[in-house]
Amino acid sequence: MGLFSRMLARLQDNWCRDCKREMEEARRRLFALPNQTVGHYVEHKDPGYYMEELWTIESKGDIPPGMYACGAIQYRCPQCGRRITVLDPFLPVRDKEKHEGALVFEDRALDDFLWR
């Protein structure tokens, strides 16, 4: 495996660290995070928190001003079948977004949550 692939595996969330190849997007969802509001964002690393707090929404337009949203993407490695879930909490501001930094989870519980 080349040095470039290793670097990508370290830097890119959607690269399988074992197979050093790009994972496929298996599921993409958008949620609201009603308990996270502008000026009071707190990062949580416990997947259980997100399973309790994320509310399913249809589009960004459903989120009132000042409330955080969270994009969720599940990736699957076509070679080894490894799955990860990337959560991307962000603040929608008119036509722009303020991202707080993606969180990567390998927790199976989040997998099921995304497919619910």
State the nearest-atom distance from the C-beta of 102 to another protein, in Å. 15
39/81 with CB nearer another protein: 39
Output the DSSP codes for 10-73: HH-TTB-TTT-SBPEEEEEEEEEEEEEETT-------HHHHHHH-EE-SSGGGSPTTEEEEEEE
CB nearer another protein, residue 97 or residue 107: 97
**How far apart are CB 37 and another protein at their closest, in Å?**
7
Nearer to another protein by Cβ, of 8 and 71: the residue is 71
The binding site for another protein (CB under 8 A) comprises 37-39, 64-67, 91, 93-94, 96-98
Which residue in the block uniquely carries the two structure tokens 């308990």? Answer: 35
